[in-house]
Chains A and B, each alone.
Chain A
């Protein structure tokens, strides 16, 4: 008995002439994700991609990983059979035994793309339905709203039998929408923001600002752990760690306290976009949500964006904390995010930050710093870690 995975493309099916390009990227992503499970082949045909492993291939693990690959609308584990209808009658019952036992109502659906196959679709449904009813007398047929749909697909070379398609991660294949740099602190929001952009096909790199000794090694480990979770969806992520202490101390010493956060964020963006462009990124991503904290008001965002010369994506901008948390639970980053280690954003936070900063005030205050030199020094002194 040979089991395979059948992948149904999502939005990709809507693409026109460049559909193959999207599909190729998705296959490359899946191949990379499954590479350590052994030899595996990917065969695209008719808006479906068949994944077949060698003997001993861990299909359960593969299914688990495939469920986190963007670009897939749905997928099924299917029984692969030679083109002999007797085999279908013989093996379907035992292959789907557990699901058939749990269901009360079912139907059989058939898709015959090989029109030369001697049985047509209605005949397949009738014959197999009758056989299954015989084997599982508790079942009833319900063609409109069945609990279980047994699908028989007659293709050019094989017949596939499967039931109830699993939901894929949706979105677009990572890498088809370009590359962007996620600014990640270690809180709840930034991993979610990264996940959302990856879902739209963006390949991620990440930038983290560390402020030793104000922040600890544990805070850095936390960021690595968070990105590992995001990488399960987004694939390989390169993290750049920027030492930010000197800049923060300079701002603390030379600028008004109530503008500390906003000036810090401007310098973060200045550093980040330099690093981003070096690694070929076309945008920055942050986890900001409008009004969540003082630096995320409309005025503050305007001041931050004034220094940005690439687009800054903020996928969480219109989301409530609850909504963000529910995604972070789904992608399993929440429990890591709430570990209580000081991060760069909480060092020296002013007691009363300005919520409606004026750009000219901020620029005037910032003039006390040698911004160019500070940024230059910070981005020369970075460490890189690759997360797979």
Chain B
């Protein structure tokens, strides 16, 4: 038996996603921009997929843009917003624990001369509302705050951004990287008060190669990919139909998110209650974090060692996050954790298919990792 507990890195394809992907490969090879009937058939499927994604976010179909990944959606949002509003101001507000696909954009914009404010996080990885209020001034053109942190699962007060922007009278657009939240907790961009929201297909049991960007109606973004003008002229390029239809399948198969969240919370609580019995093990995620992600540390045992040990036993977890292998986690450092906890951190991430058996397997694996890797006295 295997225990795949690295679902925040990526997930397996669910049945409907598989079927839709294969259907697209077999039947919808026409270019959705072609005017003949084969192209039109693809275009109909494309629009149906768009409508399904829009439904899942309680927004309109024309507010959804397909990209090739969550990272590209984040890049398109950040650069698109900043380049559209660059004449109106010079400040960008974000957090110091964003995913690299936002963080690195910020670093690049800093080099272009923008002033980027990185909001600090507390020891559970959350930003503080009053810091946010203070950071936004009238020259702010973008506020980009992730919905759920990818390493520890902390949920950010994204809805506070709108109030901050209003209070400062800023021209800013508000972007939310919801890659880890989408399909796991109910999201409604209009209620969250965001203008832009990114998500990804393969984190919700859809295929790799597709991301989406919600762009609120009326918001103007600078194009990110220039070309044939597809996807609202923001993200040109022939749409990857197999990936898009696969994502549509994954969205169709999503369960009731509130109920699923409660089930996952039970599993998480069970895991945490048992895990803390292991000698030295500490939990780095807060109780109020998204229950799909639990970050733990086994001080004294480097992440990679425990990861290899578990991997040999068919248990798959991640050290920090899969996107930052080999580097000391920025997120855990920002949370002010001591070095020995950072170097021994593991990210356990669940999906709606995760079972109690898998969690028991993990607990058992962690237990034997701790006892067999410990220095023998």
Chain A positions near chain B (C-beta within 8 angstroms):
212-217, 249, 252-253, 339-342, 347
Contact = CB atoms under 8 A, between A and B. Distances in A.
B271 interface: no
Contacts of B191: none
Interface stretch (B134-142, B284-292, B305-313): B305-313
A342 B304 contact: yes
Contacts of B305: 213-214, 342, 347
B36 interface: no
A7 to B, nearest CB: 43
Interface string B290-317: 0000000000001011111101100000
A214 B308 contact: yes
Determine which residue in B308, B325, B326, B377 has the highest number of CB atoms from chain A within 10 A of its CB, and name it.
Answer: B308
B258 to A, nearest CB: 39
Contact of A212 (B302, B306, B308, B326): B308
A340 B308 contact: no
B376 interface: yes
Interface of B: 302, 304-309, 311-312, 325-327, 373, 375-377
B308 A216 contact: yes
27 contacts: A212-B308, A212-B312, A213-B305, A213-B306, A213-B308, A213-B311, A213-B312, A213-B373, A214-B302, A215-B308, A216-B304, A216-B308, A216-B311, A249-B376, A253-B375, A253-B376, A253-B377, A339-B326, A340-B325, A340-B326, A340-B327, A341-B304, A341-B326, A342-B302, A342-B304, A342-B305, A347-B305
Contacts of A252: 375
A215 B302 CA distance: 11
A252 B302 CA distance: 16
A242 B309 CA distance: 18
A214 B375 CA distance: 13
Contacts of B312: 212-213
A212 B312 CA distance: 9
B320 to A, nearest CB: 12
Contacts of A253: 375-377
Closest 10 CB pairs of A and B: A340-B326, A213-B308, A213-B309, A253-B376, A216-B308, A214-B305, A342-B304, A213-B305, A213-B312, A212-B308
Nearest to A216: B308
Contacts of A249: 376
B188 to A, nearest CB: 40
Contacts of A216: 304, 307-308, 311
Contacts of B327: 340
A268 B306 CA distance: 24
A188 to B, nearest CB: 16
A306 B102 CA distance: 54
B17 to A, nearest CB: 29
Contacts of A214: 302, 304-305, 308
B23 to A, nearest CB: 36
Contacts of A339: 326
Nearest to B304: A342
Contacts of A217: 308
A46 to B, nearest CB: 55
A339 B375 CA distance: 28
A340 B377 CA distance: 31
B107 to A, nearest CB: 20
A214 to B, nearest CB: 5
A341 B309 CA distance: 15
Contacts of A342: 302, 304-305
A298 B305 CA distance: 32
Contacts of A341: 304, 326
A205 to B, nearest CB: 27
A32 B160 CA distance: 68
Nearest to B313: A213
A65 B266 CA distance: 61
A347 B305 CA distance: 9
Most buried by A among B302, B305, B312: B305
A342 B309 CA distance: 14
A249 B375 CA distance: 8
